[in-house]
């Protein structure tokens, strides 16, 4: 049977996963953030099969995460560049990286040291914050119930 798709889910996380939630797409976006733009470079850096890479790039372009740009005057050379939508995945990628560094550290390697160009200092650990800027956890949040505004149901 076909893989299930969530295009029409009423959950925005499911819809997001529909666009970048497969094994390769987020890694492609990550490498695009690294600066990779060419088909062959993605292929070599990721070790992905060419047909799969074609499919994923096309899907990411369809979804507006990447745009395909002709380079080299005579056509037939392309670059895949992040759109604003694609660059906006930065917090997702960083959150995932920090989670991975914390919980599955490479035994022999230091976690990636990512720094701010302006200050030269490492970036902060990404966190969910309340209106006052205080970091909060999943236990600190609720979804106000539209029908009875007083209730504080546990939810994400």
Partner DNA sequence: TAATCTGGTTTTAAGATGCAACCCAATTAT
Partner DNA sequence: ATAATTGGGTTGCATCTTAAAACCAGATTA
Residues that bind DNA (CB under 7 A): 1-4, 22-24, 38-40, 47-52, 54-55, 57, 68, 72-79
Q: Is 101 in the site for a second copy (CB under 8 A)?
A: yes
Least separation, in Å, of the C-beta of 18 and a second copy?
A: 8
Q: Which is nearer to DNA, 77 or 129 (CB)?
A: 77
- Options 44, 50, 54, 116; binder of a second copy; rule CB under 8 A: 116
- Options 19, 39, 78, 80; binder of a second copy; rule CB under 8 A: 19
Q: Tell me the C-alpha distance between 2 and 94, whole Å.
A: 31
Q: Tell me the C-alpha distance between 23 and 62, whole Å.
A: 18
Q: Which is nearer to a second copy, 57 or 89 (CB)?
A: 89
Q: Is 60 in the site for a second copy (CB under 8 A)?
A: no
Q: Tell me the C-alpha distance between 101 and 16, whole Å.
A: 23
123: Cα within 13 Å, side-chain hemisphere:
16
Two tokens at 8? Answer: 């029409």
Provide the β-strand partners of residue 122. 115
């Amino acid at each position: 049977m076909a893989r299930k798709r969530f295009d029409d889910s009423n959950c925005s996380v499911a819809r997001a996963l529909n666009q970048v939630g497969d094994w390769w797409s987020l890694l492609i976006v990550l490498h695009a953030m690294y600066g990779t733009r060419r088909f062959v470079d993605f292929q070599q850096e990721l070790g992905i099969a060419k047909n799969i890479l074609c499919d994923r790039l096309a899907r990411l372009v369809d979804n507006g995460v990447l745009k395909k740009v002709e380079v080299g005057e005579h056509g037939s050379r392309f670059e895949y560049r992040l759109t604003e939508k694609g660059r906006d995945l930065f917090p997702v990628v960083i959150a995932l990286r920090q989670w991975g560094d914390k919980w599955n550290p490479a035994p022999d390697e230091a976690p990636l040291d990512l720094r701010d160009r302006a200050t030269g200092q490492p970036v902060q650990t990404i966190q969910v914050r309340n209106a006052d800027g205080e970091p909060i956890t999943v236990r600190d949040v609720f979804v106000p119930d539209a029908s009875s505004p007083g209730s504080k149901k546990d939810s994400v």
